[in-house]
Structure 1
Protein backbone atom coordinates (compact mmCIF):
# COMPACT_ATOMS: atom_id res chain seq x y z
CA UNK A 1 0.00 0.00 0.00
CA UNK A 2 2.72 2.41 0.90
CA UNK A 3 6.25 3.14 -0.09
CA UNK A 4 8.73 3.09 2.77
CA UNK A 5 11.29 5.87 2.70
CA UNK A 6 13.47 4.99 5.71
CA UNK A 7 13.31 3.99 9.34
CA UNK A 8 12.88 6.83 11.79
CA UNK A 9 14.18 5.21 14.98
CA UNK A 10 16.15 7.74 16.99
CA UNK A 11 17.74 11.16 17.05
CA UNK A 12 20.96 9.56 15.79
CA UNK A 13 19.34 9.37 12.38
CA UNK A 14 18.65 13.12 12.46
CA UNK A 15 21.27 14.10 9.87
CA UNK A 16 20.60 11.11 7.58
CA UNK A 17 17.47 12.37 6.02
CA UNK A 18 -27.53 36.46 -1.79
CA UNK A 19 -28.86 38.24 1.45
CA UNK A 20 -32.30 36.90 2.59
CA UNK A 21 -35.44 39.07 2.43
CA UNK A 22 -36.04 40.96 5.69
CA UNK A 23 -38.99 39.85 7.73
CA UNK A 24 -41.91 42.24 8.22
CA UNK A 25 -42.80 43.81 11.56
CA UNK A 26 -42.33 47.02 13.51
CA UNK A 27 -39.26 45.70 15.27
CA UNK A 28 -37.39 44.95 12.07
CA UNK A 29 -38.46 47.83 9.80
CA UNK A 30 -34.92 49.22 10.10
CA UNK A 31 -31.60 47.56 9.31
CA UNK A 32 -30.29 48.78 12.67
CA UNK A 33 -31.47 46.53 15.52
CA UNK A 34 -32.37 47.81 19.00
CA UNK A 35 -29.78 47.81 21.73
CA UNK A 36 -29.19 44.33 23.07
CA UNK A 37 -30.32 42.44 19.95
CA UNK A 38 -28.01 39.60 18.98
CA UNK A 39 -28.01 37.89 15.61
CA UNK A 40 -29.25 34.34 16.05
CA UNK A 41 -27.02 33.06 13.27
CA UNK A 42 -23.57 34.37 14.13
CA UNK A 43 -24.33 35.53 17.71
CA UNK A 44 -22.82 38.98 17.10
CA UNK A 45 -24.63 42.29 17.78
CA UNK A 46 -25.11 45.16 15.28
CA UNK A 47 -27.35 43.51 12.67
CA UNK A 48 -30.46 41.34 12.24
CA UNK A 49 -30.15 37.74 11.15
CA UNK A 50 -31.40 38.65 7.66
CA UNK A 51 -28.50 41.09 7.35
CA UNK A 52 -25.91 38.70 8.78
CA UNK A 53 -22.65 38.71 6.80
CA UNK A 54 -22.72 34.92 6.72
CA UNK A 55 -25.89 35.10 4.58
CA UNK A 56 -23.90 36.56 1.69
CA UNK A 57 -23.13 33.05 0.55
CA UNK A 58 -26.39 31.06 0.17
CA UNK A 59 -24.44 27.81 -0.02
CA UNK A 60 -23.46 27.99 3.62
CA UNK A 61 -25.55 25.44 5.49
CA UNK A 62 -25.28 23.60 8.76
CA UNK A 63 -22.22 21.81 7.43
CA UNK A 64 -20.79 25.15 6.30
CA UNK A 65 -19.97 24.15 2.76
CA UNK A 66 -18.49 27.44 1.60
CA UNK A 67 -17.11 30.69 3.01
CA UNK A 68 -14.43 31.84 0.64
CA UNK A 69 -15.46 35.52 0.84
CA UNK A 70 -14.71 35.53 4.53
CA UNK A 71 -11.26 34.00 4.53
CA UNK A 72 -8.42 36.07 5.90
CA UNK A 73 -4.79 35.81 5.00
CA UNK A 74 -2.99 32.61 5.98
CA UNK A 75 -5.39 31.00 8.42
CA UNK A 76 -8.74 31.91 6.84
CA UNK A 77 -10.26 32.90 10.17
CA UNK A 78 -13.50 34.74 10.76
CA UNK A 79 -13.95 36.35 14.13
CA UNK A 80 -16.92 37.80 15.95
CA UNK A 81 -15.05 39.51 18.75
CA UNK A 82 -18.00 41.41 20.26
CA UNK A 83 -19.17 39.77 23.50
CA UNK A 84 -22.48 38.02 23.06
CA UNK A 85 -25.53 37.91 25.32
CA UNK A 86 -27.74 35.27 26.83
CA UNK A 87 -29.75 33.52 24.12
CA UNK A 88 -33.08 34.72 25.60
CA UNK A 89 -32.22 38.40 24.82
CA UNK A 90 -35.08 39.46 27.09
CA UNK A 91 -33.78 40.95 30.31
CA UNK A 92 -30.86 43.17 31.11
CA UNK A 93 -29.96 41.15 34.17
CA UNK A 94 -29.66 38.08 31.93
CA UNK A 95 -26.72 39.51 30.00
CA UNK A 96 -23.36 37.80 30.36
CA UNK A 97 -20.25 37.69 28.16
CA UNK A 98 -19.45 34.58 26.15
CA UNK A 99 -16.15 33.68 24.45
CA UNK A 100 -15.55 35.18 20.99
CA UNK A 101 -16.98 33.05 18.21
CA UNK A 102 -14.76 32.13 15.32
CA UNK A 103 -15.16 30.30 12.07
CA UNK A 104 -12.17 28.94 10.25
CA UNK A 105 -11.59 27.31 6.90
CA UNK A 106 -8.73 25.58 5.17
CA UNK A 107 -7.40 27.97 2.51
CA UNK A 108 -6.10 26.80 -0.85
CA UNK A 109 -2.64 27.96 -1.97
CA UNK A 110 -2.09 30.07 -5.05
CA UNK A 111 -1.35 28.56 -8.45
CA UNK A 112 2.26 27.40 -8.49
CA UNK A 113 2.35 26.76 -4.77
CA UNK A 114 1.99 23.54 -2.84
CA UNK A 115 0.54 23.58 0.65
CA UNK A 116 1.84 21.30 3.35
CA UNK A 117 -0.23 20.80 6.49
CA UNK A 118 1.56 19.04 9.33
CA UNK A 119 0.68 17.82 12.79
CA UNK A 120 2.15 15.83 15.63
CA UNK A 121 0.48 13.41 18.00
CA UNK A 122 1.62 12.53 21.50
CA UNK A 123 -0.57 10.08 23.37
CA UNK A 124 0.05 7.40 26.00
CA UNK A 125 3.81 7.57 25.50
CA UNK A 126 3.59 7.14 21.74
CA UNK A 127 4.55 9.95 19.40
CA UNK A 128 3.94 10.21 15.69
CA UNK A 129 3.84 12.83 12.96
CA UNK A 130 1.90 13.31 9.74
CA UNK A 131 1.59 15.67 6.83
CA UNK A 132 -0.37 16.19 3.64
CA UNK A 133 0.58 17.97 0.42
CA UNK A 134 -2.16 19.67 -1.66
CA UNK A 135 -2.19 21.85 -4.77
CA UNK A 136 -4.08 25.06 -5.64
CA UNK A 137 -7.27 23.08 -6.31
CA UNK A 138 -7.07 21.39 -2.94
CA UNK A 139 -6.21 18.10 -4.61
CA UNK A 140 -3.86 15.86 -2.60
CA UNK A 141 -0.43 14.92 -3.89
CA UNK A 142 0.69 12.56 -1.14
CA UNK A 143 0.84 12.15 2.61
CA UNK A 144 3.47 10.95 5.06
CA UNK A 145 3.45 9.31 8.46
CA UNK A 146 6.27 8.51 10.85
CA UNK A 147 6.73 7.44 14.43
CA UNK A 148 9.14 9.52 16.50
CA UNK A 149 11.15 8.85 19.67
CA UNK A 150 10.11 12.14 21.29
CA UNK A 151 7.44 12.95 23.87
CA UNK A 152 7.88 16.74 23.89
CA UNK A 153 4.96 18.14 21.86
CA UNK A 154 6.94 21.15 20.60
CA UNK A 155 9.73 18.91 19.32
CA UNK A 156 7.22 16.54 17.70
CA UNK A 157 5.54 19.44 15.87
CA UNK A 158 8.91 20.66 14.60
CA UNK A 159 9.79 17.12 13.54
CA UNK A 160 6.66 16.97 11.39
CA UNK A 161 7.64 20.18 9.59
CA UNK A 162 11.24 19.04 9.18
CA UNK A 163 10.17 15.69 7.77
CA UNK A 164 7.73 17.35 5.38
CA UNK A 165 10.38 19.73 4.05
CA UNK A 166 12.75 16.85 3.27
CA UNK A 167 10.00 15.11 1.33
CA UNK A 168 8.98 18.34 -0.44
CA UNK A 169 12.50 18.81 -1.78
CA UNK A 170 12.66 15.19 -2.97
CA UNK A 171 9.37 15.77 -4.83
CA UNK A 172 10.82 18.80 -6.60
CA UNK A 173 8.50 21.35 -4.98
CA UNK A 174 9.81 24.88 -5.40
CA UNK A 175 7.20 27.09 -3.68
CA UNK A 176 5.80 25.74 -0.44
CA UNK A 177 3.32 26.98 2.16
CA UNK A 178 3.72 25.18 5.47
CA UNK A 179 0.77 25.32 7.85
CA UNK A 180 0.79 23.97 11.39
CA UNK A 181 -1.63 24.23 14.30
CA UNK A 182 1.33 24.69 16.64
CA UNK A 183 1.53 28.46 17.14
CA UNK A 184 4.78 28.13 19.09
CA UNK A 185 6.45 26.21 16.28
CA UNK A 186 5.32 28.74 13.67
CA UNK A 187 6.42 31.74 15.74
CA UNK A 188 9.80 30.21 16.47
CA UNK A 189 10.52 29.31 12.86
CA UNK A 190 9.54 32.82 11.75
CA UNK A 191 11.72 34.39 14.46
CA UNK A 192 8.81 35.89 16.36
CA UNK A 193 9.87 34.15 19.53
CA UNK A 194 13.30 32.88 20.58
CA UNK A 195 14.40 29.29 20.32
CA UNK A 196 16.87 27.31 22.39
CA UNK A 197 19.91 26.48 20.25
CA UNK A 198 21.51 23.79 22.42
CA UNK A 199 18.45 21.56 22.56
CA UNK A 200 16.77 19.02 20.33
CA UNK A 201 14.25 21.64 19.25
CA UNK A 202 17.11 24.01 18.46
CA UNK A 203 18.71 21.42 16.19
CA UNK A 204 15.47 20.94 14.32
CA UNK A 205 14.98 24.70 13.98
CA UNK A 206 18.43 25.06 12.44
CA UNK A 207 17.73 22.25 10.00
CA UNK A 208 14.30 23.63 9.10
CA UNK A 209 15.70 27.07 8.29
CA UNK A 210 18.43 25.52 6.15
CA UNK A 211 15.87 23.43 4.28
CA UNK A 212 13.62 26.45 3.69
CA UNK A 213 16.54 28.25 2.03
CA UNK A 214 16.43 25.63 -0.75
CA UNK A 215 12.98 26.73 -1.91
CA UNK A 216 12.36 29.57 -4.34
CA UNK A 217 9.47 30.78 -2.18
CA UNK A 218 8.06 29.70 1.14
CA UNK A 219 5.87 30.79 4.04
CA UNK A 220 5.10 29.27 7.41
CA UNK A 221 1.75 30.09 9.01
CA UNK A 222 -0.51 28.99 11.83
CA UNK A 223 -3.80 27.16 11.36
CA UNK A 224 -6.54 26.52 13.87
CA UNK A 225 -6.73 22.87 14.80
CA UNK A 226 -10.27 22.61 13.38
CA UNK A 227 -8.95 23.56 9.92
CA UNK A 228 -6.03 21.15 10.21
CA UNK A 229 -8.11 17.98 10.40
CA UNK A 230 -6.44 16.24 7.48
CA UNK A 231 -2.93 16.44 8.95
CA UNK A 232 -4.25 15.48 12.39
CA UNK A 233 -5.88 12.39 10.88
CA UNK A 234 -2.69 11.39 9.07
CA UNK A 235 -0.57 11.80 12.21
CA UNK A 236 -2.79 9.27 14.02
CA UNK A 237 -3.24 6.77 11.22
CA UNK A 238 -1.87 3.27 11.67
CA UNK A 239 -0.19 2.23 8.43
CA UNK A 240 1.75 -0.61 10.06
CA UNK A 241 5.09 1.06 9.30
CA UNK A 242 7.55 3.21 11.18
CA UNK A 243 7.92 5.70 8.35
CA UNK A 244 5.86 5.78 5.15
CA UNK A 245 4.74 7.90 2.24
CA UNK A 246 1.39 6.98 0.72
CA UNK A 247 -0.60 8.24 -2.24
CA UNK A 248 -4.26 9.23 -2.87
CA UNK A 249 -5.35 5.78 -4.18
CA UNK A 250 -4.28 4.36 -0.80
CA UNK A 251 -5.98 7.05 1.34
CA UNK A 252 -8.71 5.90 3.73
CA UNK A 253 -12.24 7.03 2.87
CA UNK A 254 -12.38 9.30 5.91
CA UNK A 255 -9.26 11.15 4.80
CA UNK A 256 -10.72 11.63 1.32
CA UNK A 257 -13.88 13.07 2.94
CA UNK A 258 -11.86 15.57 4.99
CA UNK A 259 -9.88 16.64 1.94
CA UNK A 260 -13.09 17.15 -0.06
CA UNK A 261 -14.64 19.24 2.73
CA UNK A 262 -11.54 21.43 2.86
CA UNK A 263 -11.41 21.89 -0.92
CA UNK A 264 -15.10 22.88 -1.02
CA UNK A 265 -14.50 25.53 1.65
CA UNK A 266 -16.25 23.93 4.60
CA UNK A 267 -16.60 26.32 7.54
CA UNK A 268 -15.42 24.86 10.82
CA UNK A 269 -16.92 26.31 14.01
CA UNK A 270 -14.57 27.26 16.81
CA UNK A 271 -15.53 28.73 20.19
Structure 2
Protein backbone atom coordinates (compact mmCIF):
# COMPACT_ATOMS: atom_id res chain seq x y z
CA UNK A 1 0.00 0.00 0.00
CA UNK A 2 1.38 3.40 -0.98
CA UNK A 3 1.03 6.34 1.43
CA UNK A 4 1.04 9.94 0.19
CA UNK A 5 1.60 13.09 2.24
CA UNK A 6 0.84 16.54 0.82
CA UNK A 7 3.05 19.63 1.28
CA UNK A 8 1.89 23.22 1.65
CA UNK A 9 4.22 25.27 -0.55
CA UNK A 10 2.85 28.67 0.54
CA UNK A 11 5.08 29.42 3.54
CA UNK A 12 7.77 26.80 3.08
CA UNK A 13 6.63 24.69 6.02
CA UNK A 14 5.44 21.14 5.54
CA UNK A 15 1.90 20.34 6.41
CA UNK A 16 0.96 16.74 6.01
CA UNK A 17 -2.58 15.74 5.23
CA UNK A 18 -3.96 12.52 6.66
CA UNK A 19 -2.22 9.64 4.94
CA UNK A 20 -4.17 8.00 2.16
CA UNK A 21 -3.44 4.57 0.82
CA UNK A 22 -4.26 2.94 -2.47
CA UNK A 23 -4.92 -0.68 -3.25
CA UNK A 24 -5.33 -2.41 -6.61
CA UNK A 25 -8.58 -4.40 -6.72
CA UNK A 26 -9.57 -6.83 -9.47
CA UNK A 27 -12.62 -8.67 -10.71
CA UNK A 28 -12.03 -12.34 -9.87
CA UNK A 29 -13.00 -15.08 -12.28
CA UNK A 30 -15.40 -17.73 -10.92
CA UNK A 31 -14.38 -21.30 -10.12
CA UNK A 32 -14.44 -23.89 -12.90
CA UNK A 33 -18.09 -24.99 -12.77
CA UNK A 34 -19.52 -21.68 -11.56
CA UNK A 35 -20.71 -18.54 -13.34
CA UNK A 36 -20.44 -15.06 -11.88
CA UNK A 37 -23.23 -12.47 -11.83
CA UNK A 38 -22.27 -8.89 -11.04
CA UNK A 39 -25.27 -6.79 -10.04
CA UNK A 40 -25.81 -3.06 -9.58
CA UNK A 41 -28.69 -0.65 -9.08
CA UNK A 42 -28.77 3.09 -9.57
CA UNK A 43 -31.16 5.90 -8.63
CA UNK A 44 -30.66 9.45 -9.85
CA UNK A 45 -32.03 10.78 -6.53
CA UNK A 46 -33.73 9.16 -3.55
CA UNK A 47 -36.31 8.40 -4.69
CA UNK A 48 -35.86 9.17 -8.35
CA UNK A 49 -35.54 7.53 -11.76
CA UNK A 50 -33.90 4.18 -11.09
CA UNK A 51 -32.52 1.29 -13.03
CA UNK A 52 -30.38 -1.75 -12.66
CA UNK A 53 -28.05 -4.06 -14.49
CA UNK A 54 -26.39 -7.41 -14.33
CA UNK A 55 -23.51 -9.06 -16.15
CA UNK A 56 -23.03 -12.82 -16.14
CA UNK A 57 -19.60 -14.21 -17.09
CA UNK A 58 -17.93 -17.60 -17.17
CA UNK A 59 -14.56 -18.85 -15.93
CA UNK A 60 -12.74 -17.18 -18.82
CA UNK A 61 -14.43 -13.83 -18.15
CA UNK A 62 -16.50 -14.24 -21.33
CA UNK A 63 -19.99 -12.77 -21.47
CA UNK A 64 -22.89 -15.19 -21.00
CA UNK A 65 -25.49 -12.42 -20.83
CA UNK A 66 -25.97 -8.87 -19.59
CA UNK A 67 -28.95 -6.59 -19.16
CA UNK A 68 -29.87 -3.06 -18.23
CA UNK A 69 -33.41 -2.13 -17.25
CA UNK A 70 -35.24 0.99 -16.13
CA UNK A 71 -37.32 0.46 -12.98
CA UNK A 72 -39.18 3.79 -12.76
CA UNK A 73 -39.09 5.94 -9.63
CA UNK A 74 -37.43 4.27 -6.64
CA UNK A 75 -34.41 4.09 -4.38
CA UNK A 76 -30.98 2.65 -5.13
CA UNK A 77 -31.60 -0.22 -2.65
CA UNK A 78 -34.83 -1.15 -4.42
CA UNK A 79 -33.07 -0.97 -7.79
CA UNK A 80 -30.27 -3.20 -6.50
CA UNK A 81 -32.70 -5.83 -5.17
CA UNK A 82 -34.76 -5.69 -8.37
CA UNK A 83 -31.52 -6.22 -10.34
CA UNK A 84 -30.63 -9.30 -8.26
CA UNK A 85 -34.07 -10.78 -8.88
CA UNK A 86 -34.04 -9.92 -12.60
CA UNK A 87 -30.56 -11.32 -13.16
CA UNK A 88 -31.32 -14.54 -11.28
CA UNK A 89 -34.50 -14.92 -13.34
CA UNK A 90 -32.50 -14.51 -16.56
CA UNK A 91 -29.91 -17.10 -15.53
CA UNK A 92 -32.60 -19.79 -15.75
CA UNK A 93 -32.54 -19.65 -19.55
CA UNK A 94 -28.84 -20.53 -19.93
CA UNK A 95 -29.37 -23.26 -17.30
CA UNK A 96 -26.82 -21.97 -14.80
CA UNK A 97 -27.15 -23.80 -11.49
CA UNK A 98 -23.94 -22.74 -9.70
CA UNK A 99 -23.68 -18.99 -9.49
CA UNK A 100 -21.60 -16.47 -7.53
CA UNK A 101 -23.52 -13.19 -7.18
CA UNK A 102 -21.52 -10.05 -6.40
CA UNK A 103 -22.86 -6.64 -5.43
CA UNK A 104 -21.25 -3.47 -4.15
CA UNK A 105 -24.22 -2.97 -1.82
CA UNK A 106 -23.52 -4.44 1.62
CA UNK A 107 -27.20 -3.83 2.47
CA UNK A 108 -28.35 -6.13 -0.32
CA UNK A 109 -25.74 -8.82 0.36
CA UNK A 110 -26.61 -8.84 4.09
CA UNK A 111 -30.33 -9.00 3.30
CA UNK A 112 -30.01 -11.92 0.87
CA UNK A 113 -27.53 -13.77 3.10
CA UNK A 114 -29.91 -13.29 6.06
CA UNK A 115 -27.29 -11.50 8.15
CA UNK A 116 -29.65 -8.52 8.38
CA UNK A 117 -33.26 -8.52 9.54
CA UNK A 118 -35.39 -6.95 6.81
CA UNK A 119 -38.10 -4.40 7.36
CA UNK A 120 -41.46 -5.27 5.83
CA UNK A 121 -40.55 -3.15 2.79
CA UNK A 122 -37.55 -5.36 1.93
CA UNK A 123 -38.87 -8.77 3.02
CA UNK A 124 -40.94 -9.00 -0.19
CA UNK A 125 -37.77 -8.79 -2.32
CA UNK A 126 -35.92 -11.33 -0.21
CA UNK A 127 -38.80 -13.81 -0.59
CA UNK A 128 -38.82 -13.31 -4.38
CA UNK A 129 -35.06 -13.96 -4.50
CA UNK A 130 -35.42 -17.01 -2.21
CA UNK A 131 -37.94 -18.54 -4.65
CA UNK A 132 -35.28 -18.53 -7.37
CA UNK A 133 -32.25 -19.54 -5.32
CA UNK A 134 -33.95 -22.61 -3.85
CA UNK A 135 -33.12 -24.54 -7.05
CA UNK A 136 -29.35 -24.28 -7.41
CA UNK A 137 -26.16 -23.32 -5.61
CA UNK A 138 -25.67 -19.62 -4.99
CA UNK A 139 -23.11 -17.53 -3.17
CA UNK A 140 -23.73 -13.82 -2.47
CA UNK A 141 -20.68 -11.64 -1.82
CA UNK A 142 -19.90 -7.97 -1.31
CA UNK A 143 -17.26 -6.40 -3.56
CA UNK A 144 -15.74 -2.91 -3.70
CA UNK A 145 -17.50 -0.42 -5.98
CA UNK A 146 -14.31 -0.12 -8.04
CA UNK A 147 -14.58 -3.80 -9.08
CA UNK A 148 -18.16 -3.37 -10.30
CA UNK A 149 -17.44 -0.83 -13.07
CA UNK A 150 -19.14 -2.48 -16.07
CA UNK A 151 -22.33 -3.20 -14.16
CA UNK A 152 -22.36 0.27 -12.60
CA UNK A 153 -22.11 1.79 -16.08
CA UNK A 154 -25.06 -0.24 -17.38
CA UNK A 155 -27.15 0.57 -14.26
CA UNK A 156 -26.50 4.31 -14.64
CA UNK A 157 -27.47 4.08 -18.32
CA UNK A 158 -30.73 2.35 -17.38
CA UNK A 159 -31.62 4.90 -14.70
CA UNK A 160 -30.91 7.79 -17.09
CA UNK A 161 -32.76 6.43 -20.14
CA UNK A 162 -35.33 4.11 -18.49
CA UNK A 163 -34.62 1.79 -21.42
CA UNK A 164 -34.36 -1.99 -21.38
CA UNK A 165 -31.60 -3.92 -23.16
CA UNK A 166 -30.32 -7.48 -23.13
CA UNK A 167 -26.91 -8.51 -24.47
CA UNK A 168 -25.73 -12.01 -25.31
CA UNK A 169 -22.62 -11.11 -27.32
CA UNK A 170 -19.73 -8.95 -26.09
CA UNK A 171 -19.69 -6.96 -29.35
CA UNK A 172 -23.25 -5.72 -28.73
CA UNK A 173 -22.44 -4.07 -25.38
CA UNK A 174 -22.15 -0.25 -25.33
CA UNK A 175 -18.60 0.76 -26.29
CA UNK A 176 -17.44 2.00 -22.86
CA UNK A 177 -18.90 -1.09 -21.15
CA UNK A 178 -17.07 -3.37 -23.62
CA UNK A 179 -13.80 -1.77 -22.57
CA UNK A 180 -14.53 -2.26 -18.86
CA UNK A 181 -15.48 -5.93 -19.40
CA UNK A 182 -12.24 -6.42 -21.34
CA UNK A 183 -10.24 -4.83 -18.49
CA UNK A 184 -11.88 -7.26 -16.05
CA UNK A 185 -11.04 -10.20 -18.31
CA UNK A 186 -7.37 -9.18 -18.54
CA UNK A 187 -7.31 -8.65 -14.74
CA UNK A 188 -5.59 -5.27 -14.89
CA UNK A 189 -7.64 -4.06 -11.96
CA UNK A 190 -8.72 -0.71 -10.60
CA UNK A 191 -7.31 1.54 -7.89
CA UNK A 192 -9.24 1.84 -4.63
CA UNK A 193 -8.51 4.59 -2.10
CA UNK A 194 -8.02 3.42 1.47
CA UNK A 195 -8.32 6.04 4.26
Q: CA deviation at 1:87?
A: 5.7
- Residue matched to 2:86: 163
CA distance in 2, matches of 1:180, 1:148: 18
- Residue matched to 2:10: none
Greater shift after overlay, 110-119 or 206-215?
206-215
- Residue matched to 2:155: 235
Q: CA deviation at 1:155?
A: 1.4
Contact 2:99 2:139 in 1 (8 A): yes
Cα separation, partners in 2 of 1:265 and 1:188, compared to 1, 3 Å? same
- Residue matched to 2:19: 98
- Residue matched to 2:36: 115
Cα separation, partners in 2 of 1:85 and 1:142, compared to 1, 3 Å? closer
Contact 1:154 1:185 in 2 (8 A): yes
Contact 1:178 1:219 in 2 (8 A): yes
The answer for unaligned runs of 5 or more in structure 2 is: 8-13
Tell me the secondary structure at the aligned position of residue 91 of structure 2. Answer: helix
Q: CA deviation at 1:105?
A: 0.7
CA distance in 1, matches of 2:162, 2:24: 36
The answer for unaligned runs of 5 or more in structure 1 is: 1-41, 44-83
Greater shift after overlay, 243-252 or 218-227?
243-252
CA distance in 1, matches of 2:4, 2:52: 41
Contact 2:39 2:55 in 1 (8 A): yes
CA distance in 2, matches of 1:101, 1:241: 35
Q: TM-score, normalised by structure 2?
A: 0.84
- Residue matched to 1:220: 140
Contact 1:116 1:164 in 2 (8 A): yes
Contact 1:131 1:144 in 2 (8 A): yes
Number of residue pairs matched by the alignment: 183
More strand per residue: 1 or 2? 2
2:49 matches 1:129: no
CA deviation digits over 1:121-167, x for unaligned, max 9? Answer: 11152111111110000011111121113422211111110111111
The aligned runs of 1:17-166 (5 Å cut-off) are: 42-43=1-2, 84=3, 86=5, 97-123=18-44, 125-166=48-89
Higher RCO (CA-CA < 8 Å; seq separation 6+): 2
2:177 matches 1:258: no
CA distance in 1, matches of 2:6, 2:72: 48
CA distance in 2, matches of 1:100, 1:194: 34
Task: Report which of the two structures shows the higher radius of gyration computed on alpha carbons.
Answer: 1
